[in-house]
């Protein structure tokens, strides 16, 4: 389903609902709000969102209701390339396990926006329908970085001079490149104000559509690691990148007042303390792209923040492909027991959520070990699978099973 919105792009106008409605009325009276240029747009409202699809009404909650949907536990994670069959099977597997809460699906930004303000949320709609059919939760990851040479994460319109190219190229698999797309990946040029504002516009559109849906558990952003830039970034670019990332987190939390918003964080180390502090102050959850049992850099750059902020905001480490086969980044083949990964996430990282990659690579086929762990009579059979369930203190209005 394709939706047309005209989002507010100015970062300083994180408006309340009443102000947004007032702006909508004013725009309607003067005939505005029907188009946008490359750098700005007319304000949007939930009413405009609903009207953009004939016969569809936007979900809404009572004004001032800030309870957060809260279904902590284990989620099975599939990649952006997962097809309909794989996703359907994954939700069926989750539905058969009382200690698995749902599925995490991943989408690149370019999958969701085809032109400025033109959104295609049909993939998310289909995955949410699968979640409802399985009586499970959907947690999504919004990706602005690619991990495969030649892939693009951002919409084509951002790869233009208007947005200073929109991205910076990163080396993939240590390749010696000349910076061509065929041999590199890309990461978002978040220091560019227009790029930041377009990302905020996207999260607002997502919030209007999914915040009030009881089966839509949360939205996460990919890791903070910048990657190996083909053209090294300046200190100013890096500093502004993380300043803007904190602003995106705050804006997304406002767009999703009843939904968990999570930032996966890891590197670079110098920028993590201020970023984490800013995110936690806005009630943004902390997650991680990796759960390594014995990784020195993560022990310094990331893991301590789980302990120091546990109970304030949700914690959501993920177990990804490499975590199944070694205990530290780039380490030798030495698969840890999945029960050890679970114990580490629950104990060391104080997890409320754990996201388990559906890795099917032979000969180990780690996902089978994960399923066997969930099915074991000795594994916790409560809905959260033994993970922490206390409502985070930053959710001052409380947590709710249903809104």
Q: How do the domains of the chain map onto residue ranges? A: 67-400
Quick one: tokens of 275? 């970023």
- pTM of the predicted protein model: 0.86
Q: Are 8 and 33 in contact (CB under 8 A)?
A: no
The torsion angle over the Cα atoms of residues 106, 111, 112 and 115, rounded to 10 degrees, is: 160
What are 68's strand-pairing partners?
A: 399
**CA angle at residue 149 from 287 to 242, to 5 degrees?**
40
The superfamily CATH assigns to domain 67-400 is: Glycosidases (3.20.20.80)
What DSSP letter does each residue of 218-250 carry, written as one string? EEEE-------BSSPPPHHHHHHHHHHHHHHHH
Q: Are 77 and 50 in contact (CB under 8 A)?
A: no
Average pLDDT for runs of 10 along the chain of length 403: 41 36 33 32 33 39 93 98 97 98 98 97 98 98 93 97 97 62 90 98 98 98 96 98 98 98 98 98 97 98 98 98 97 98 98 98 97 98 98 98 97
């Amino acid at each position: 389903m394709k939706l047309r919105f005209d989002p507010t792009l100015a970062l300083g106008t994180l408006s309340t609902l009443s102000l947004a409605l007032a702006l909508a009325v004013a725009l309607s009276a003067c005939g505005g709000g029907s188009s946008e240029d490359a750098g700005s747009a007319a304000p949007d409202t939930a009413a405009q969102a609903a009207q953009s699809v004939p016969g569809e009404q936007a979900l809404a909650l009572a004004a001032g209701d800030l309870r957060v949907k809260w279904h902590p536990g284990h989620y099975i994670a599939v990649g952006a390339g997962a097809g309909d069959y794989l996703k359907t099977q994954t939700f069926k597997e989750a539905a058969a396990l009382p200690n698995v809460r749902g599925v995490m699906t991943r989408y690149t930004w370019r999958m969701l926006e085809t032109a400025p303000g033109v959104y295609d949320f049909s993939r998310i709609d289909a995955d949410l329908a699968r979640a409802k059919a399985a009586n499970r939760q959907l947690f999504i990851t919004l990706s602005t970085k690619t991990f495969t040479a030649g892939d693009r994460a951002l919409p084509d319109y951002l790869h233009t001079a208007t947005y200073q190219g929109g991205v910076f190229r990163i080396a993939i698999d240590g390749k010696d490149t000349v910076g061509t797309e065929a041999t590199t990946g890309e990461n978002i040029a978040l220091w560019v104000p227009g790029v930041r504002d377009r990302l905020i516009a996207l999260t607002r559109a997502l919030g209007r559509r999914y915040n009030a849906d009881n089966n839509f558990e949360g939205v996460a952003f990919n890791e903070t690691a910048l990657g190996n830039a083909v053209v090294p970034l300046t200190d100013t670019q890096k500093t502004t990148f993380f300043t803007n990332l904190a602003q995106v987190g705050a804006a997304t939390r406002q767009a999703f007042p009843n939904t968990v918003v999570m930032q996966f964080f890891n590197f670079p180390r110098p920028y993590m303390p201020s970023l984490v502090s800013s995110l936690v102050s806005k009630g943004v959850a902390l997650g991680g792209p990796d759960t390594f049992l014995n990784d020195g850099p993560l022990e310094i750059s990331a893991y301590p923040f789980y302990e120091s902020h546990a109970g304030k905001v949700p914690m959501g480490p993920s177990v990804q492909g490499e975590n199944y086969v070694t205990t530290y980044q780039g380490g030798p083949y030495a698969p840890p027991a999945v029960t050890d990964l679970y114990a580490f996430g629950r104990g060391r990282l104080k997890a409320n959520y754990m996201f388990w990659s559906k890795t099917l690579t032979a000969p180990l086929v780690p996902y089978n070990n994960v399923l066997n762990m969930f099915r074991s009579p000795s594994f916790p059979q409560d809905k959260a699978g033994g993970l922490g369930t206390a409502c985070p203190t930053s959710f001052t209005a409380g947590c709710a099973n249903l809104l």
